[in-house]
Amino acid sequence: MYAVVALGAALALALWAVFSTAGASARQVRDNLSRGFSAEIAAVGGSTRPTLGTLHRLTTPKGVARLDRLHALAGRPAAWPLSRLLAAKPLLAGVGLLLGVLLLAGNASGRMLALVIVVTAVAYFVPDLLLYSRGIERQRAIGLELPDTLDQMLIAVEAGLGFESAMSRAGENGKGPLAEELQRTLGDMRVGVPRKDAYLAMEERTNVPDLRNFTRAVVQADAYGISISSVLRTQAAEMRMKRRQRAEEQAMKIPVKIVVPLMLLILPVLLLMIMGPVVLNAMEQF
């Protein structure tokens, strides 16, 4: 019993070491932007959490690559850098194992042992699941924002602005993940990244089919000298049509989704209301 308590205290302390500095990365980014990143600052930042570097080695290289991909699709939240997520995975698994051991101590059986294994595995993959969910929401938001953003860029281009200036205007005036991606792409180009590579990097970070088609159309227009306004007009019209088709498809699925709750919740009540008096009258007569 004392060993379980000691293990729980150690895991709680380790979790506090990881989760208590959720805002440290954002503060460090702001400090680096204002003062300039230096080797001394990096050394201090790396030495304050030596435990994180030890814990993240427990994840396989394939697991690190998969988590890094999910982290990129989720927009790389500043409060949760990859190192902290890698450290949280074994800690959460340890918490799940501790809870499983406590349950197993009260009821030792094969079924309970299987439950302990499942709880530990689920706890280990909690960061992956959270990043996956956030990435899906982010991709959906980008897909919804894209047609309106292209309309804004088309208006700016037809008013005489260049394509990058129109993209900068859309990124500054817009809100959400798409505006952030546009600003990041422009920032990459300002620091010397080739235009094509910057667009392809944005495509890789978002993994949205409509945005992928748009970036490839822009790359081809830039390579072959096609008018960018015609590309924007065509892409905006096509994406509006796709958005309308997706809305119609979702509307057509509603009757099918209603069938199950109708049969399980509403239909039994209706049958009870209709057949109840009949059954009561029959019972009184017989």
| Domain positions in the chain | 2-124, 137-242
Quote the tokens at residue 207: 């993994």
Mean pLDDT of 6-35: 52
Task: Give the residue with greater pLDDT, 259 vs 41.
Answer: 259
> Are the C-beta atoms of 132 and 70 separated by less than 8 Å?
yes
How does pLDDT run across 223-264, given as a tens digit for each residue?
888 888 899 999 988 988 988 898 899 899 888 888 888 888
C-alpha–C-alpha distance, residues 164 and 71, integer Å: 27
Q: How far apart are the first and last CA of the chain?
A: 65
What does the pLDDT read at residue 55? 59
How does pLDDT run across 156-193, given as a tens digit for each residue?
999 888 899 999 999 998 889 999 999 999 999 999 99
Looking at the predicted structure, is the pLDDT value of residue 23 above 80? no
Mean pLDDT of 208-215: 91
Quote the tokens at residue 244: 């309308």
Q: How confident is the model at residue 197 (pLDDT cuts 50, 70, 90)?
A: very high
How does pLDDT run across 108-158, given as a tens digit for each residue?
777 888 888 888 888 899 999 999 999 999 999 999 899 999 999 999 999
Q: How confident is the model at residue 5 (pLDDT cuts 50, 70, 90)?
A: low
Looking at the predicted structure, is the pLDDT value of residue 276 above 70? yes
Under CATH, what is the fold of the domain 137-242? Receptor-associated Protein (1.20.81)
192: left (phi over 0), alpha (psi -120 to 50) or beta: left
C-alpha–C-alpha distance, residues 28 and 45, integer Å: 8
C-alpha–C-alpha distance, residues 129 and 116, integer Å: 19
DSSP assignment, residue 80? S
